C-alpha cells in the first residue's frame, strides 16, 4: 500500500480524491451498465490503479527471506487482490465520502459500480455454501454473477456456519442433498 500511495503522490495525486473523481465522472456510463462477465472499463481502470508489479522488488522474485529467487517475476499486488481492494476498500470509502459530502452523484455511481464487479473465481467457502444452500444439482451457481452476491455467501458462512451455537442440523439455510 505504501508503494501505491508513494506512486500517486509523486504524480501529485491525492489517491482517494482522484479515485472518487473517476467514479463520479463515470456516473453516466454506470447508469446504463448491467452486470456481466466483461468488466466495465472503470472497474479495469480502478483495478489497474491498485496493481503493483514485482519488477525490481525483492518480493517480486522471493516467496520468503530464505527462498531461492523465482525465475519468474510475480506481481506484488495482482489483479484479483487489486479487485478485492476496489470492492472492499475503495468503494466503501467512496460511499462514505459521498455521504459525508452529501454528493448524491458519487453515492449513486459507487453503488452502481459495487453491483457491477464480477465475482472472483470460486473458492472453498463459495463452493461449500452453494452446495449447502442449493444442493449439488441446484440452480444456485447461476445466482452469483457479481462479487456483491458472492460476498453474501461469505456473510452467511461466517455468521451461521462458523458460529459456535449453530450447527448444520439447526441451520435455517441448510438444504440437504
Where does a domain end: 69, 89, 114?
114
**Whether the model pTM is above 0.85:** no
Q: Is residue 155's pLDDT more than 90?
A: no
Q: Kindly state whether residues 86 and 35 are assigned to the same domain.
A: yes
Q: Both 63 and 85 in a single domain? A: yes
For residues 86 and 147, membership in a common domain is answered with no
102 and 137, same domain (yes or no): no
- Indicate whether 92 and 159 sit together in one domain: no
Range of the domain at 77: 2-114
Q: Which of 84, 114, 144 is the last residue of a domain?
A: 114
Establish if 177 belongs to a structural domain.
Answer: no
Distance CA 118, CA 125 (A): 17
| Among the ranges given (40-54, 64-78, 126-140, 155-169), the one the predictor scored with the smallest mean pLDDT | 155-169
pLDDT digits (tens, 9 = 90+) for 89-140: 899 999 999 999 999 999 999 999 988 888 888 888 888 888 878 777 666 6
| Residue 85 neighbours by CB under 8 Å, 6+ apart | 50, 77
The pLDDT assigned to 53 comes to 84
Same domain, 27 and 85: yes
pLDDT at res. 165: 53
Which grid coordinates are listed for 45? 481502470
Query: Same domain, yes or no, for 16 and 103?
Result: yes
Which residues lie closer than 8 Å to 129 by C-beta, 6 or more apart?
Answer: 153, 154, 156, 157, 161
Q: Is residue 80 part of a domain?
A: yes
52, β-bridge pairs: 77
SS (H, E, C) the chain: CHHHHHHHHHCCCCHHHHHHHHHHHCHHHHHHCCCCCCCCHHHHHHHHHHCECCCCCHHHCCCCCCCCCCCCCCCCECHHHHHHHHHHHHHHHHHHHHHHHCCHHHHHHHHHHHCCCCCCCCCHHHHHHHHHHHCCCCCHHHHCCCHHHHHHHHHHHHHHHCCCCCCHHHCCCCCCC
Split into its structural domains, the chain has a count of 2
The pLDDT confidence band at residue 164, using thresholds 50, 70 and 90, is: low
Residues 139 and 103 in one domain: no
Please indicate, yes or no, whether residues 134 and 93 belong to a single structural domain of this protein: no
Q: Residue 149: its pLDDT value, please?
A: 85
**pLDDT tens digits for range 4-55:** 666 666 777 677 788 888 899 999 888 888 876 667 889 989 999 888 888 8
Amino acid at each position: 500500500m505504501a508503494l501505491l500511495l508513494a506512486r500517486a503522490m509523486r504524480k501529485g495525486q491525492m489517491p482517494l480524491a482522484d479515485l472518487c473523481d473517476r467514479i463520479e465522472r463515470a456516473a453516466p456510463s454506470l447508469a446504463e451498465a448491467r452486470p456481466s462477465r466483461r468488466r466495465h472499463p472503470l472497474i479495469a481502470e480502478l483495478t489497474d490503479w491498485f496493481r503493483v508489479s514485482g519488477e525490481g522488488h525483492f518480493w517480486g522474485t522471493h516467496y520468503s527471506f530464505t527462498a531461492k529467487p523465482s525465475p519468474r517475476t510475480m506481481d506484488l499486488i495482482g489483479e484479483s487482490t487489486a479487485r478485492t481492494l476496489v470492492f472492499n476498500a475503495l468503494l466503501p470509502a467512496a460511499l462514505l465520502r459521498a455521504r459525508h459530502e452529501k454528493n448524491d452523484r458519487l453515492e449513486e455511481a459507487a453503488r452502481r459500480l459495487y453491483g457491477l464487479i464480477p465475482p472472483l473465481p470460486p473458492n472453498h467457502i463459495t463452493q461449500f455454501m452453494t452446495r449447502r444452500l442449493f444442493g449439488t444439482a441446484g440452480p444456485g451457481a447461476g445466482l452469483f454473477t457479481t462479487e456483491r452476491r458472492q460476498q453474501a455467501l461469505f456473510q452467511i458462512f461466517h455468521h451461521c456456519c462458523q458460529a459456535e451455537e449453530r450447527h448444520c442440523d439447526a441451520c435455517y439455510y441448510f438444504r440437504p442433498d
